[in-house]
Amino acid sequence: MMDFAGAMAFVEGFSHSGKPVRDLSRIALLLEQLGNPQDHLQFIHIAGTNGKGSVAEYLTNALIRCGYRTGTFTSPFILRYTDRIRLNGRDIPGEALCRICERVSQVASPDAGYSQFEITFAIAMLWFVQERAEIIVLETGMGGLLDCTNIIAPPLCTVITSVSYDHMAILGNTIEEIAAQKAGILKKGSPAVFAADSLPGAMQVLKERAASLEIPFRIADPYQPSCIIRETDGLYGNRFEWHGLLFSTRMGGIHQIYNAITALEALDSLPLEINWEQVQKGISETQVPARIQILHRNPLIVLDGGHNAAGIRALADVLEESGIRSWCGICGMTHADAVDTAGEVLSPYLDHVICVDGFIPNAVPARQLSKVFTCPAEVSSPSKALYLAREWAAGHHGAVVICGSLYLASFYLQEV
């Protein structure tokens, strides 16, 4: 059997994107050769531009609290490859990964054009079946219509979180085109939940697609009559009522109220027995790595992985709500199309910014990034930047925010 290094070498032998696809026949062939494990599982299927990871974790923790054996499949990983395949909150064990990689390697070779994501999805499906998972919280990788996760049969519920601009070279140049790709996971017979904070053109596409499939849908809106926002805090969480029940989120920012209510509406639509007292506990204890995550309190260091225009604006809202008026930013990015937005949106909240690269091969060059900020900017390596930012915060009675990329967030989570 493969050892762990061999298993990772097998997965990494496939390219990140794989050969282009026009349908789901490639993943269908791979899963058929493995006995179609996905057909033996029940799913909540999640697509969207922002909020997928948070909604997935809210759902996961709530379902575990309710006593369900819950699998979770997310993308990308934050700390290690195995954290994207979890059962009841625990990563797939190395032994299981090695054993399943050995099996998958017998039917999939790197020259077949599979992507790492497709291979990882196949591994996850086999493991969830072996572990008798009762429900899988399944996050798409990119888009939806042609995403390999869309091979599943109609799920218990389909969730589409906030839809905005991202991956435009692949998903389309207009918000309507992007939304159509996300809406591709909607299936006849599966109720749907749409987060209310999608851009208007996107929401119209989602509604029209649901209507054409004759499926019921809910819009998860914190400003509907059944919801009352009690308290918002940019850094330390929120409190709100939903249908008379009081909920709190550990993660800050009003966007987390949207995400939590999206998860609640999804839970309410499931044909399962739900213990709402346990759901309250599950929601309150959820912290997704790199989503307004407090790394240190003296000086305050906040980590956020928002990397597209909507995510950057959500971070700016958090900085505005925080009450802290002296911020030093450490910024590194991989999405070149969001660089100008980062400079424009974050500069008013940053007194100083340290731009970094080198945390991943395709990072935007730090000197290029530094030119978009109107606040004072300098360039550093990621390892030195944290030292410089701490020094700045101590000297200015301020705080540090690390932002711009989930890959940068992963670097610091392993460093701090």
Alpha helices in 17-51 (DSSP H): 25-33
Q: Rounded mean pLDDT of 123-139?
A: 98
pLDDT of 169 higher than 60? no
pLDDT digits (tens, 9 = 90+) for 354-380: 999 999 999 999 999 999 999 999 999
Q: Specify the pTM.
A: 0.93
Per-residue pLDDT, 39: 98
Domains of the chain: 4-284 (3.40.1190.10), 293-415 (3.90.190.20)
- In terms of Cβ atoms closer than 10 Å to its own Cβ (0-12, 13-18, 19+), residue 298 is exposed
Per-residue pLDDT, 416: 62
In DSSP terms, which residues pair with 44 in a beta bridge?
137, 157
Q: Rounded mean pLDDT of 237-257?
A: 94
pLDDT of 60 higher than 60? yes
Instruction: Tell me what the pLDDT averaged over the chain comes to.
Output: 94
Q: What span, in angstroms and rounded, lies between the C-alpha atoms of 39 and 26?
A: 16
Per-residue pLDDT, 78: 84
Residue of 266 and 169 predicted with greater confidence: 266
Sheet strands side by side (includes 43-47) = 90-91, 85-87, 70-73, 135-139, 43-47, 157-160, 192-195, 217-220
pLDDT above 70 covers a percentage of the chain that reads: 98
Q: What span, in angstroms and rounded, lies between the C-alpha atoms of 397 and 409?
A: 24
Contact between 101 and 7 under an 8 Å Cβ cutoff? The reply is yes
Per-residue pLDDT, 375: 95
